[in-house]
């Protein structure tokens, strides 16, 4: 057992956060789950405080989840962590890397510029151009720029009701992120990487009756064995971000595989249920190997 003090930033009480904190405690004897909503940044004193603990005095921080719901406020929380990083605290993954993934458009731009195949996508604030996109795609998926697990996403089909549906979406999402709906044959893939190296792949299979495959909407995890070309695609997608632990969302279509997004944090439950592996233990060992004694 090492005496390194490593905090886990996440959602107290959530399974993946607590599992990671347990794995850290089993190896270090130190357990600290950090809720960023209770962290105080004091630039006058140069401290980042959580319940009496200056996070700048820890040996490391693992970011399992920065917020329950993605929003621009999550970006502010990551900015706060930069103080601890500047004081020499190792952070996994680095705030700068996560920042590029919280905003869906930032992730999409990085993937596109890296030459990663993605669904046809239109981004606009113009309702008329959004209507044109729906007409071109036939059926389009409208996605909030800040969301996880398909929350806030909706399908809009070409037809008489499209204009009103677009207006409803735009009321809460003035910048509209619009993708062509693809036939996913009821499943998509989560390809997992640890420290930039391929770990495993699981499939998310639709629970039936929904257009997406998320576990939130009744999907289930099952094992999947990708071929080397598919692994190479996943590796190419995650490489620009430099994350310590991530999942690349991939779909197999009639025109070949495409990437939807790269996760800022990765999913522990999919690794457990779909791959039979302990992601919390693997990530903790990865972190401990990279923090100086």
Q: Over the stretch 137-161, which tens digit does the pLDDT of each residue have?
A: 999 999 999 987 778 899 999 999 9
Within 10 A of 20 (CB to CB), how many other CB atoms are there? 27
Domain range list for the chain: 6-101, 110-116+183-277, 121-180
| Tokens read off for 72 | 């621009």
Confidence of residue 22 (pLDDT cuts 50, 70, 90): very high
> Strand pairing of 197-205 and 245-253?
unpaired
Packing angle of the helix pair 15-28, 279-288 (nearest 10 deg): 50
State whether residue 288 is helix, strand or coil.
helix
Taking CA atoms, 153 is separated from 176, 227, 229, in Å, by 11, 31, 30
**Within this chain, domains 110-116+183-277 and 121-180 share the same CATH topology:** no
Residue with the two structure tokens 């207006």: 167
Q: Read off the pLDDT of residues 159-168 as tens digits, 9 standing for 90 and up.
A: 999 999 999 9
Class of domain 121-180: alpha beta
pLDDT at 212 over 60: no
Sign of CA dihedral 97, 120, 193, 211: positive
Confidence of residue 291 (pLDDT cuts 50, 70, 90): very high
pTM of full prediction above 0.85: yes
State whether residue 68 is helix, strand or coil.
coil
Q: Read off the pLDDT of residues 69-105 as tens digits, 9 standing for 90 and up.
A: 888 889 999 999 999 999 999 999 999 999 989 999 9
| Tokens read off for 84 | 């601890």
Packing angle of the helix pair 95-102, 104-113 (nearest 10 deg): 100
Q: Read off the pLDDT of residues 230-270 as tens digits, 9 standing for 90 and up.
A: 999 999 999 999 999 999 999 999 889 999 999 999 989 99
* Multiple choice CATH, 110-116+183-277, 3.90.550.10, 3.10.180.10, 1.10.3720.10, 3.30.470.20: 3.30.470.20
pLDDT at 209: 57
Taking CA atoms, 252 is separated from 204, 208, 259, 292, in Å, by 12, 18, 9, 41
CB of 94 closer than 8 Å to CB of 84: no
More confident: 22 or 215: 22
**What does the buried/exposed string (b/e) look like for 73-85 if buried means 16 or more CB atoms within 10 Å of the residue's CB?**
ebbebbebbbbbe
**What does the buried/exposed string (b/e) look like for 107-123 if buried means 16 or more CB atoms within 10 Å of the residue's CB?**
bbebbeeeebbbbebbb
- In CATH terms, is domain 6-101 a member of 2.30.30.30? no
What is the percent of the chain where pLDDT is above 70?
96
In the 8-state DSSP scheme, what is residue 31?
-
State whether residue 7 is helix, strand or coil.
strand
In the 8-state DSSP scheme, what is residue 200?
E
More confident: 212 or 21: 21
pLDDT at 216 over 70: no
**What does the buried/exposed string (b/e) look like for 224-242 if buried means 16 or more CB atoms within 10 Å of the residue's CB?**
bebeeebeebbebbbebbe
């Amino acid at each position: 057992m090492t005496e390194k003090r490593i905090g886990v930033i996440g959602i107290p009480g959530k399974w993946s956060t607590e599992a990671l904190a347990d794995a850290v405690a089993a190896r270090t004897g130190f357990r600290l789950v950090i809720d960023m909503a209770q962290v105080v940044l004091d630039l006058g004193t140069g401290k980042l405080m959580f319940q009496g603990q200056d996070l700048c005095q820890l040996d490391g921080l693992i970011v399992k989840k920065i917020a329950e719901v993605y929003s621009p406020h999550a970006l502010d929380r990551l900015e706060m962590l930069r103080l601890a990083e500047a004081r020499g605290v190792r952070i996994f993954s680095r705030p700068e890397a996560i920042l590029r993934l919280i905003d869906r458009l930032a992730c999409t731009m990085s993937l596109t510029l890296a030459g990663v195949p993605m669904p046809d996508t239109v981004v606009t604030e113009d309702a008329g151009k959004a209507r044109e996109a729906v007409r071109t795609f036939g059926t389009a998926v409208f996605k909030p720029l800040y969301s996880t697990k398909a929350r806030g996403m909706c399908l809009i089909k070409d037809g008489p009701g499209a204009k009103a549906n677009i207006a409803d979406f735009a009321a809460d999402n003035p910048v509209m992120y619009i993708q062509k709906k693809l036939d996913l044959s009821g499943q998509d893939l989560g390809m997992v990487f640890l420290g930039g190296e391929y770990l495993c792949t699981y499939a998310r299979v639709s629970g039936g009756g929904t257009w997406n495959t998320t576990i939130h909407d009744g999907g289930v995890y099952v094992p999947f064995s990708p071929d080397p070309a598919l692994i190479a695609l996943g590796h190419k997608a995650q490489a620009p971000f430099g994350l310590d632990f991530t999942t690349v969302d991939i779909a197999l279509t009639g025109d070949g595989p495409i990437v939807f997004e790269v996760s800022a944090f990765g999913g522990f439950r999919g690794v457990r249920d779909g791959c039979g592996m302990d992601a919390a233990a693997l990530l903790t060992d990865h972190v401990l190997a990279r923090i100086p004694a």
